[in-house]
């Protein structure tokens, strides 16, 4: 069962012009509801009637007397703009940890493929797999790059790509994935998070090499707990899955990419 918790903001850092990192004190939320890296929080953004907003857990720990959770978000609209104005010491009304997370073991060796604001939850996967995994991180341009140093500390290797070539490989992450797997395809899984067209391409490349691929899907959400059907995602077998309850992580080969 997810917990509703008042979380105190321990620290806040602007990673670029419109992207904020928050570290939260979260009671025993991680100890009681952790299922795997890739779960998300549903955060109440404002005092009005506005719905909660889903934000992925980037990293979490149970080391201290209270659990800690970090999230990274980009300002898109009213809710995330409100969240970006919060400061250290303020409290947030948080529901979590929600969703399933990536089905990996700490001893897994994975390829983590992230695009833009899809990059942060993969940092949790890197830490969970204790340095065995490698990352391919894509951004629109170098000024949009986030968390690279933290990935370097937690991964066997990190490759970067940008759409405009201002940092790393000039092009998309699925081309880097293809090159990487041609050299070494002994990975337990490809874990991906990012925009839907990127996920579709990453799923196709992983399939070509016969490697299991898990993708974190993004849909607009209402309740966040499977009660309102707002977050439906079409599957190949005709089923409509709920991103909040059945996901957000799905087997890429089961998703209907043409829906």
Binding of ligand FAD by 120 (CB under 6 A): yes
In the complex with ligand FES, the residue whose CB is nearer, 195 or 226, is 226
| Nearest distance in Å: CB 23, ligand FES | 26
Contact 219, 243 (CB under 8 A): yes
In the complex with ligand FAD, the residue whose CB is nearer, 165 or 197, is 197
* Nearest alpha carbon to residue 38 among 95, 99, 94: 99
Q: Which span sits near ligand FAD by CB under 6 A: 26-34, 65-73, 165-173, 178-186?
A: 65-73
Binding of ligand FAD by 78 (CB under 6 A): yes
The Cβ of residue 74 has, within 10 Å, a number of other Cβ atoms equal to 18
| Nearest distance in Å: CB 99, ligand FAD | 6
In the complex with ligand FES, the residue whose CB is nearer, 199 or 231, is 231
Binding of ligand FES by 230 (CB under 6 A): yes
Binding of ligand FAD by 201 (CB under 6 A): no
Q: What is the 3-state secondary structure (H, E, C) of the chain?
A: CCEEEEEEEEEEEEEECCEEEEEEECCCHHHHHCCCCCCEEEECCCCCCCCCEEEECCEEECCCCCCEEEEEEECCCHHHHHHHCCCCCCEEEEEEEECCCCCCCCCCCEEEEEEHHHCHHHHHHHHHCCCCCEEEEEECCHHHCCCHHHHHHHCCEEEEEECCCCCCEECCHHHHHHHHHHHCCCCCEEEEECCHHHHHHHHHHHHHCCCCEEEECCCCCCCCCCCCCCCEEEECCCCEEECCCCCCEEEHHHECCCC
Binding of ligand FES by 105 (CB under 6 A): no
Segment 220 to 239, residues that bind ligand FAD, using CB under 6 A: 220-221
88's contact among ligand FES, ligand FAD, none, with CB below 5 to 8 A by partner kind, is none
In the complex with ligand FAD, the residue whose CB is nearer, 181 or 249, is 249
Q: Of 124, 138, 194, 248, which one interacts with ligand FAD (CB under 6 A)?
A: 248
Binding of ligand FES by 231 (CB under 6 A): yes
Binding of ligand FAD by 150 (CB under 6 A): no
230's contact among ligand FAD, ligand FES, none, with CB below 5 to 8 A by partner kind, is ligand FES
Catalog residues that contact ligand FES under the rule CB under 6 A.
221-224, 226-231, 242, 244
């Amino acid at each position: 069962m997810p917990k509703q918790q008042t979380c105190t903001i321990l620290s806040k850092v602007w990673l670029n012009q419109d992207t904020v990192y928050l570290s939260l004190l979260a009671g025993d939320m991680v100890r009681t509801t952790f299922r795997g890296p890739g779960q998300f929080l549903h955060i109440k953004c404002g005092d009005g009637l506005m719905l909660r907003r889903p934000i992925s857990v980037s990293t979490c720990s149970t080391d201290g007397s209270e659990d800690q959770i970090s999230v990274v978000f980009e300002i898109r609209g009213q809710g995330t703009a409100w969240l970006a104005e919060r400061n250290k010491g303020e409290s947030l009304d948080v529901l979590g940890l929600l969703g399933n997370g990536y089905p990996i073991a700490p001893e897994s060796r994975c390829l983590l493929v992230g695009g833009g604001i899809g990059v942060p939850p993969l940092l949790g996967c890197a830490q969970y797999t204790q340095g065995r995994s490698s990352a391919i991180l894509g951004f629109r341009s170098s000024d949009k790059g986030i968390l690279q140093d933290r990935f370097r500390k937690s991964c066997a290797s990190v490759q970067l790509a940008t759409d405009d070539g201002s940092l790393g490989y000039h092009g998309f992450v699925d081309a880097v994935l293809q090159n990487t797997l041609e050299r070494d395809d002994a990975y337990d899984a490809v874990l991906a998070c990012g925009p839907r067209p990127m996920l579709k391409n990453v799923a196709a490349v992983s399939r070509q090499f016969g490697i299991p691929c898990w993708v974190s899907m993004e849909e607009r959400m209402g309740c966040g707990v499977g009660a309102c059907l707002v977050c439906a995602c079409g599957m190949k077998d005709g089923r409509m899955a709920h991103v909040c309850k059945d996901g957000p992580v799905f087997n890429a080969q089961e998703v209907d990419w043409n829906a």
